[in-house]
Structures are given as structure tokens and as C-alpha cells.
Amino acid sequence: MTASPPATPLLAPPPAFFTPEFFHDPHPRFDALRARGPATAVTGFSGHRIWVVPGYEDVRTALTHPGVRKDEWRRPELRERHQIDPERRRDVNVRIRNNMINSDGPEHQRLRQATQQALSPARTELLRPRLAELTDRRLDALCAAGPGPLDLRADFTYPCAIDAIAHVLGLGQEERTDFRTWFDILMIQGSSQSVRDVSATIADYAEAVVDRRIAQQDARSPAPSDSEGLISTLVAGRAGPCPLNRHELASTVFLLLIAGMESANALANGMLALLSHPEQLAALRADRSLLPGAIEETLRYDGSFRAVGPRYTDQPVRLGETTVPEGEFLLLALQAAHRDPRRYPDPHRFDITRTDHQHLGMGHAAHRCVGSKVGHAQLEIGYGKLLDRFPDMRLAVPAEDIRHRPSMTMNWLESLPVTLW
């Protein structure tokens, strides 16, 4: 039996990596990290040691490796062992962690299957007319506001995403709240205390929504119709082959809300890419058959996820010539993988005519996004209607002045200033 190579020596402490310069333009640092090797230990954004994996094939390997686990919360001693700056520690309420994104193996499959059945391709097609109608209403509001400048992210892509996920989940108007502020705190800019506070608020909200649906279902016998939304469908599934308990249902509601909001960031990032490359935008305007490929290219070039993780190793994991020891955190850098020249020719070029669409922006294998069909439908509708309504839309500031929010995992714009006509 061939012995595994020795683990790459750890840096103590590992260097700071997530600096303001990185958040403004991560690709020079990712390129340098990729040239250095398959995995490098750095100091994570929340102050713990983490290994960044920047290569496409290595990220794919880690996404499916049996020794790479998702549920880091089951190993609290790892967080204590690797914590470098305790003041930056972020603890999310346990009541919203019990979902498919934080599970492995059979448990992941059980949690995923219940939601996957309720988001079938057929059901997605039934959603399209209503999603288009909701998008038109937001576009009407943009037109009424005048030519701008305005923030397309705040004034269009986010409201559209909230409308869409509320419809998909079956949330009434009285059940809508300030989702955007919650998730900005939780995913991007929150202090340790604010993350604890807002995650508890989200857990209370999700449990209250689930409890109302359970009470409604218990008061009647017929199964809910598709028009009643995904939460009612999942609650009705408590008697089926993949039942979710109350806490799992509430945590799944939280996860679906976040997933639904991600379409806002994907659309904003994609519009920035198109508006920053006038020749590509002109080609798409001239030939709408390019739209499916353009969507895939925007997800590769500048998708809404910078990375996935942290995940952890429960055995030594071999990535190329590097072995990451057992008990280490991993950050799988999708942004870097999507600009890997060993996978994509001229990877920093934005080209909507690319035919290689095997990006990782919607996940991979068993962990592919369960709502990817709905997400693609939202993007198709959003891009198509923006192109139809505003043929002269342009950036209101130079592209290099547009900033991204500081996050280790999310690739979100601060704003997207545009002029509509």
C-alpha cells in the first residue's frame, strides 16, 4: 500500500487573505493561490484557520469526497482549536441549522428529497406565468420612477426575488418582513452579537410560519393545492415517505428563503457583467437565442457565491500534491475554480458564446441546488424583460467604482447604479 504524502506544513498563524483589496478584486489573489498549490491555509474572515481550494478539479473533488463533511457544527472542538480571533466568531442559532445544506449522507438525502419532490420541473413551469407577472409589476414601478440613476439591485433585483420566493413558498403579504436586512446581517456584515440576535429572530419567524401551516392542515383533510405554496406542501408531506419534523421544516424555510434571495444577486452580478461588456450585451440584444448560454456564462464569470464552506475534513484528504490533515476547515473557492485556465480557455474573458457550461455555480452532484430550475426561470424572465424594456440601459458610474460586500462566501454587490434611458 502506497503511503500518503505528508500534510503540507501549517502556517502559524496563517496569513490574512480576505483584505479590502481582495474584496474589490479577488482574482489576482486567487490566481496566485492557485499557482501555489491545490490548498493553502489562511486566516478566515471570521478569525479561524481555513484551507482555500482554488482549482476547478480540486473543488469538484472536494465537493464529493467522502472525507469532506458539511456539518461543521457537529465538531465544535474544531472551531475552538482553529479560532484565531474570538471577537470575530459568528454563531448561528441551532434552530435554523437543521437543513440539507448542513447535512451529509442519508440525512442529507432525506432532507433534500422532501423539497426536491415539491420543486419538480413540472411545478416550475406552472410558476412561470406568475413569476413573469410579478416581474412586470416591478418593471412598471421602475418606469414610473424615471430614468435614474437608480440602484438596480435595491430597486429591482431584490424586490423581484422577494416577490418570487414569497409566491413559491406561499407567504401571505402579512407574512413578509425585512428579509433583505436579516440576510445582510447574517451573511455579510453582522457582528457576532447581531448574528446571534438576527438568527434567533429568523428561527422564531420560520417556526411561526410552519406552526400556522400545521394548524391549517390539521384543521382539514384534503391535501394542499399547488397554489398554496411550498411550505404547505412540505407540511403535508409529514405523512409521506420523507417526513420533516417541525424544526426541520422551519430550518428548510430559512434555507429556501436564502436560496430565493440569491437570484437577486445572480441577476445583479450578471447585469453588471453585461453592462460592462457592451459588445456582449449588443450580441445578446441582437440574438435572444444566446440567452441560455449567457445565463450560464454570468454564473461562471461572476456568480453570487464566492465560495462554499466552511466544510471540514474527517480524514486526511489528498488534493493533487497536497494532503489536508484530518480536522481542518476547507473553503471551496468557486470564483477561483471558474477562472481556472486549466479548465476554461482565457478564463477572465466574459464570453456569452462559450459552450462549456459545467460550472459549479448551482452546486455539483448530490449537492446541486434543489431549486436550480426555479432559479434559472427567474433569471431567464429577469434578463429577458430588462432587455425588452430598457434597450438603452447603461451603468451610471464606471464599472471599476462598483464595490462588492466583504464576505468569504457570498459575492454580493453593494449597489448597481444604472440609468434606464
Question: How would you write the pLDDT of the chain (421 residues) with one tens digit per residue?
Answer: 444 444 444 444 566 788 888 988 999 999 999 999 999 998 877 677 889 999 999 999 999 899 998 876 666 667 666 665 555 555 666 777 777 777 777 777 888 887 777 777 888 888 899 999 999 999 999 999 889 799 999 999 999 999 999 999 999 888 988 788 888 887 776 567 778 888 888 889 999 999 999 898 777 655 555 557 889 888 887 766 667 888 889 988 988 888 888 899 999 999 999 999 999 999 999 999 999 999 999 999 999 999 987 888 989 999 989 999 998 989 999 999 999 999 999 999 999 999 989 898 887 666 677 778 888 899 999 999 999 999 999 999 999 999 998 888 889 999 999 999 9
Q: Is residue 214 part of a domain?
A: yes
Residues 373 and 237: their CA atoms lie apart, in Å, by 21
User: Which structural domain, as residue segments, surrounds residue 239?
Assistant: 20-419
Q: Is residue 10 part of a domain?
A: no
Q: Is residue 2 part of a domain?
A: no
Q: Is residue 14 part of a domain?
A: no
Q: Is residue 383 part of a domain?
A: yes
The DSSP-derived string for 53-67 is: E--HHHHHHHHH-TT
The DSSP-derived string for 143-190 is: HHH-S--EEHIIIIIHHHHHHHHHHHHT--GGG---HHHHHHIIIII-
Residue 103's CATH number:
1.10.630.10
Q: What pLDDT is stored for residue 262 in this prediction?
A: 87
- 3-state class (DSSP) for residue 324: strand
Interaxial angle between packed helices 291-302 and 246-275, expressed in degrees from 0 to 180 and rounded to the nearest 10: 100
- Counting Cβ atoms within 10 Å, is residue 121 exposed (0-12), middle (13-18) or buried (19+)? exposed
- 3-state class (DSSP) for residue 125: helix
For 314-349, strand residue ranges (E) read 317-319, 322-324, 329-332
**Number of domains forming the structure of the chain:** 1
Q: Is residue 112 part of a domain?
A: yes
Q: What pLDDT is stored for residue 119 in this prediction?
A: 77
Q: Is residue 7 part of a domain?
A: no
Q: What pLDDT is stored for residue 83 in this prediction?
A: 63
Q: What pLDDT is stored for residue 80 in this prediction?
A: 67
| Residue (of 263, 233, 236) closest to 116 by Cα position | 233
Q: What pLDDT is stored for residue 1 in this prediction?
A: 40
Cell numbers given for 256: 429556501
Query: Within a 10 A sphere around the Cβ of 208, how many other Cβ atoms?
Result: 11
Structural Rg of the chain based on CA atoms:
22
Task: Decide: 405 and 23 in contact? Cβ < 8 Å.
Answer: yes
Residues paired with residue 53 on neighbouring β-strands, in sequence order: 332
Model pTM greater than 0.85? yes
Q: What pLDDT is stored for residue 26 in this prediction?
A: 93
